[in-house]
Amino acid sequence: MSRRVLVLNGPNLGRLGSREPDVYGSTSYAGLVEACGTLGKELGLDVEVRETNDEGEMIRWLHEAADHAIPVVLNPGAFTHYSYGMRDAAAQRTAPLVEVHISNPYTREAFRHTSVVAAVASGTVAGFGIGSYRLALRALVEELDA
């Protein structure tokens, strides 16, 4: 039986592959979806990948995850640094939640050094490109199996 996992992506992540490839790599959003689905199957997970530019939609997805004890891999994008509404929704989690970033925020602009989500996440994986998602999915499995 596979376990359901949501991989939630915030603003501009649907533009992967064309958005600042020197920072975010050349993998497209479709490539990210495929990579998460493929690894998910190997790990016994039913992975659903979503992307939104809308803060309210992200909050509703986090409520859905909390209401149904669904583990989450969350790349909040720019919401990372200021969305207290999203942070409060993530704090209601009832299953592991791993924050993920493609780039390493600490090597970038100073405003990116603060995450309002980190304190309510199970952990954070950052700086490994699309591989950050693979590491986050593996971390979720370890959390679920613990």
* 83 assigned binding-site residue: no
Whole-angstrom distance, CA of residue 124 vs CA of residue 99: 5
Active site residues: 24, 101
- Say whether 68 counts as a known binding-site residue: no
Cα(142)–Cα(146) distance, rounded to whole angstroms? 6
Task: Tell me whether residue 102 is annotated as binding.
Answer: yes
Please indicate if the annotation marks 60 as binding a ligand: no
- 3-state SS string for 11-42: CCHHHCCCCCHHHHCCCCHHHHHHHHHHHHHH
Annotated binding residue at 132? Answer: no
Q: Which residues are annotated as a binding site?
A: 75, 81, 88, 102-103, 112
Q: Which residues are annotated as a binding site for substrate?
A: 75, 81, 88, 102-103, 112
